[in-house]
Each structure stands twice: as structure tokens, then as C-alpha cells.
């Protein structure tokens, strides 16, 4: 049985003081949570701080992005080795904002996954369609193409540490949310695709999160779907009470 996994993606928010306050509040609110994997992904400058504050707690630390080289003359980039040194266990790869704003391609996502796995990080790989693509009936085509590009050349045993996050682009930061039925349909599609390419065992093992305006009010119905194994939470993860409420829903 898959253990639910809820991740908070803080994006480009918080100061050091706000990071400290938020994490201390989360530690208090989630101190008795043990049936679920919980991770937070603060901005790069606060990863060491987060690791220090969360040491000994049940909350894991992740990063929002990384580069695929281990070191070198890549001004402004962060390597997977640096993330490990900062205490990260997880890293978000291929978020729709990275694809749209920074022109990341499926090939770049693939290289980042490869580098993350090599350094012992657990990638959270994001896929999802735009509103135009959904309205044109291309959801299946787009999502399958993104997964195929991300995992090309991998063997099943190499993907055991991976999480997939389905995030319909039209539901991110818009207040719109895919219905539980819409989300479940795509999650099931992803799992079937994984089973066809890598076998049923891996497909049943990999956790698939839903991301897209997840909040306490809609979390329960989304997380009740059989193929939705957790959530990649954006804005609601910046408030301790709302994020803790989503985590609690995932435990039910």
C-alpha cells in the first residue's frame, strides 16, 4: 500500500524569519503525524535553516529545482550535491512554472532526474496540460509525452525513488481545481502508462500527487480517489494551519 505524500512548494516566498516561524509552527502542529510522508520545499537560501529546524522531526526537506551538473562554471545554478549537503531528500523537477517561464524542455527534465537519482535525491517530477490543451482534447497526448520524455532510457529499478505530480497548468495559482473525477482520470492514465512501460509492480509502487490550488476545503475529496496518493501544495503551504489541515486529510 502506498503511503500518502504531501509536499509544500513555497515558491519565491518567505524571509528567514518567516521560514523559522512557519517551520516551528508546522513542527508543533504535525508532531503526532506518522502515517504519511510530509516535505517542505523552501527557497534555496533557507534550506540549511530548514534542515536545522526540522532535524529530528517527521518533516522532510526538499528543493524546488536543481541543475543537472555536479559542479562547474554554471553561475547561479544549484547542483544536486549541494542540495544533499543542505539536507534535502527531495527535489521538484519540471514544475510547470519552470517549463513555462524558464523554457525547460522534457530533455532538461530528464537530465535533472538522472542527476538527482545519481546523487541520492528523490525527484518529484511534474507533468500537466494547459487549459488550451485540455480544451482541445490533448490532455492524454501532452501528459504521456512529458512522462515519456522524462523517463526515456530508465529501467524500472532506477525509478523506485521517484514521485510524479500531476499539475494541470490551468489550476495552478488560479483558484481553479480539477474535479476529483478529472484528476483521478489523469492519475489513472499515468499509472497505466507506467505499468505498460515498466511493469505493474513499479506502477503500483510509485506515488502520484495532485497539484493545483489544493486547499483544506477540497483536499479530502481529491485525496479520496484511488490513484491520488497525496498533494503538491502551493499557496496553502505558506500557512501552517492550512498545510497541516491538508496533511491531516491525507491521513484519513
Catalytic residue among 119, 129, 167, 184: 167
- CA dist., res. 112 & res. 68, Å (int): 5
Q: From its phi and psi, is residue 94 left (phi > 0), alpha (psi between -120 and 50) or beta?
A: left
* 8 Å CB contact between 107 and 149: yes
132 in active site? no
60 in active site? no
Catalytic residue among 60, 95, 110, 187: 95
217 Cβ contact list (under 8 Å, min separation 6): none
Annotated catalytic residues are 95, 167
Amino acid at each position: 500500500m502506498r503511503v500518502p505524500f504531501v509536499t509544500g512548494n513555497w515558491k519565491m516566498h518567505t524571509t528567514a524569519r518567516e521560514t523559522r516561524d512557519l517551520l516551528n509552527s508546522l513542527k508543533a502542529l504535525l508532531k503526532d503525524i506518522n502515517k504519511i510522508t510530509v516535505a517542505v520545499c523552501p527557497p534555496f537560501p533557507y534550506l540549511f535553516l530548514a534542515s536545522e529546524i526540522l532535524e529530528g522531526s517527521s518533516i522532510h526537506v526538499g528543493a524546488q529545482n536543481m541543475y543537472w551538473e555536479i559542479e562547474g562554471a554554471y553561475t547561479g545554478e544549484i547542483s544536486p550535491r549541494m542540495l544533499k549537503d543542505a539536507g534535502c531528500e527531495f527535489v521538484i523537477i519540471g514544475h510547470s512554472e519552470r517549463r513555462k517561464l524558464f523554457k525547460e524542455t522534457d530533455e532538461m527534465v530528464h537530465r535533472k532526474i538522472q542527476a538527482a537519482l545519481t546523487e541520492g535525491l528523490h525527484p518529484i517530477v511534474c507533468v500537466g496540460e494547459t487549459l488550451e490543451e485540455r480544451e482541445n482534447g490533448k490532455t492524454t497526448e501532452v501528459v504521456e509525452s512529458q512522462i515519456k520524455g522524462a523517463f526515456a532510457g530508465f529501467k524500472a529499478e532506477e525509478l523506485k525513488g521517484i514521485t510524479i505530480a500531476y499539475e494541470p497548468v490551468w489550476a495552478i495559482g488560479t483558484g481553479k481545481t480539477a474535479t476529483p473525477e478529472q484528476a483521478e482520470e489523469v492519475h489513472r492514465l499515468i499509472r497505466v502508462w507506467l505499468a505498460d512501460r515498466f511493469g505493474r509492480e513499479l506502477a503500483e509502487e510509485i506515488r502520484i500527487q495532485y497539484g493545483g490550488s489544493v486547499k483544506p476545503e477540497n483536499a479530502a475529496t481529491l485525496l479520496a480517489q484511488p490513484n491520488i496518493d497525496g498533494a503538491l501544495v502551493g499557496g496553502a503551504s505558506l500557512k501552517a494551519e492550512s498545510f497541516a489541515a491538508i496533511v491531516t486529510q491525507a491521513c484519513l
